[in-house]
């Protein structure tokens, strides 16, 4: 038996329920800006080895929680575990980002792919989730995650990170049925993968659509949003007697947030390019919002960080439904004390925006 959850403020905020203060966590909170992360990664030998060793993935997941009073933990893994499990050959070259050794570019290549079994090829992730839940001992909720089918497909087709997305967008315009076949497969894989994370103990799930905004709005609907819709429709709604909230994050969504809010999710991630007050107008009170401090604010001194935190809190305004976060992942060169200053400021300044429940 796992101990009961001691701090469920994050889960309540995601469901727009009253909370005493605004909960906070950071995208990429376990990462290279922490010296203890770099030490564990060195011990693991590589980033992929770190992801594939549940004890070490658990260790780095908990590192930021040992330093900062965060209101949530996020599974340490990557969105590219699915293409890796599909046999596309994944490598992380230092300083170069991910490389897919066998990219998928033709209908014949797509037809050879299968949906990986989360309890077999992705077993190491599911084991990490169970272990993290055990080690967290109910301190804060654990977030599971996956990439959006579109975002994961960009890596599968481009063969790695891309500037112009020429190959996948060429495929989209030339042979859309091939791309739809790949996206359908990734969608099925993602539903099974996230449901396995939920069954193993993930208490909320987040879908990262980092590259949705490189599409025209029309193509975004067809090639990204509709697949995220299938994902949320396929997800387990509750586990261990509690709703498992879903967060969708399309970086650069802007006014598309309004269409995203039609989906059966609980919260939308907002990057720093959109004003939270504007986002709240687009979305209404239908969904919670998560964001959106510019990660570069953390290069400034703590006093400045505090005033920028105040600004983000004020732009969301009064009432429940705000989860504080960065607008994207924390940069590797941020001093950890600056992250601490941000979290402290959120906890100090946010109670005035909430009526005591």
Please identify which of the residues 33, 155, 193, 227 carries the catalytic annotation: 155
When the beta carbons of 76 and 220 are compared against ligand CP3, the nearer one is 76
Q: Is 47 in the site for ligand CP3 (CB under 6 A)?
A: yes
Alpha helices in the chain (DSSP H): 9-14, 35-44, 47-52, 54-67, 81-85, 107-111, 123-136, 149-158, 166-174, 176-200, 217-220, 226-234, 257-260, 276-283, 302-316, 336-349
Q: Tell me how far, at minimum, the Cβ of 54 lies from ligand CP3, in Å.
A: 14
When the beta carbons of 21 and 25 are compared against ligand CP3, the nearer one is 25
Q: Are 129 and 144 in contact (CB under 8 A)?
A: yes
The answer to whether 227 is a known catalytic residue is no
Could you give phi then psi for residue 251, rounded to 5 degrees? -65, 130
Query: Residue 171 forms beta bridges with which residues?
Result: none
Q: Is 298 in the site for ligand CP3 (CB under 6 A)?
A: no
When the beta carbons of 22 and 148 are compared against ligand CP3, the nearer one is 148
Q: Is 154 in the site for ligand CP3 (CB under 6 A)?
A: no
The answer to whether 28 is a known catalytic residue is yes
* Interatomic CA distance for residues 151 and 98, integer angstroms: 13
Q: Indicate which single residue of 12, 28, 306, 322 sits in contact with ligand CP3 (rule: CB under 6 A).
A: 28
Please identify which of the residues 12, 21, 28, 127 carries the catalytic annotation: 28
176-235 binders of ligand CP3 (CB under 6 A): 208, 210
Per CB under 6 A, the segment of 77-85, 187-195, 229-237, 337-345 that binds ligand CP3 is 77-85
- Residue of closest CB approach to ligand CP3: 210
Binding site residues, ligand CP3, CB under 6 A: 27-32, 41, 47, 74, 76, 78-80, 92, 97-98, 145, 147, 161, 208, 210, 329
Which residues are catalytically annotated? 28, 32, 41, 78, 155
């Amino acid at each position: 038996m796992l101990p009961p959850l001691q701090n469920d403020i994050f889960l309540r905020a995601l469901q727009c329920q009253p909370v005493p203060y605004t909960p906070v966590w950071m995208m990429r909170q376990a990462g290279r800006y922490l010296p203890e992360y770099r030490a564990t990664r060195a011990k693991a030998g590589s980033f992929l080895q770190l992801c594939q060793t549940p004890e070490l993935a658990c260790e780095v997941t908990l590192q930021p929680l040992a330093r900062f009073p965060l209101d949530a933990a996020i599974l340490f893994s990557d969105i590219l575990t699915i293409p890796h499990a599909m046999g596309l050959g994944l490598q992380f070259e230092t300083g170069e980002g991910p490389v897919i050794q066998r990219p998928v570019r033709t209908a014949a290549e797509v037809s050879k792919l299968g949906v990986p079994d989360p309890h077999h090829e992705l077993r190491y992730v599911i084991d990490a989730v169970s272990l993290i839940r055990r080690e967290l001992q109910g301190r804060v909720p654990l977030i599971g995650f996956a990439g959006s089918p579109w975002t994961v497909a960009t890596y599968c087709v481009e063969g790695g990170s891309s500037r112009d997305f020429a190959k996948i967008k060429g495929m989209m315009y030339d042979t859309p049925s091939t791309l739809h076949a790949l996206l359908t497969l990734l969608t099925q894989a993602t539903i099974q993968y996230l449901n396995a994370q939920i069954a193993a103990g993930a208490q909320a799930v987040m879908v990262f659509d980092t590259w949705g905004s490189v599409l025209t709005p029309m193509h975004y609907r067809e090639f990204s949003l509709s697949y995220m819709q299938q994902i949320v429709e396929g997800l387990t709604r509750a586990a261990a007697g509690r709703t498992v909230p879903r967060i969708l994050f399309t970086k650069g969504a802007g006014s598309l947030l309004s269409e995203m809010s039609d989906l059966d999710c609980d919260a939308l991630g907002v990057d720093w390019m959109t004003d939270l007050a504007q986002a709240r107008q687009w979305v209404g009170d239908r969904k919670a919002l998560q964001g959106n401090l510019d990660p570069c604010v953390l290069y400034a001194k703590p006093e400045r960080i505090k005033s920028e935190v105040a600004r983000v809190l004020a732009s969301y305004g009064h009432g429940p439904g705000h989860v504080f976060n960065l607008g994207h992942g924390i940069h590797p060169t941020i001093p950890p004390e600056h992250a601490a200053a941000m979290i402290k400021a959120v906890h100090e300044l946010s109670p005035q925006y909430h009526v005591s429940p």
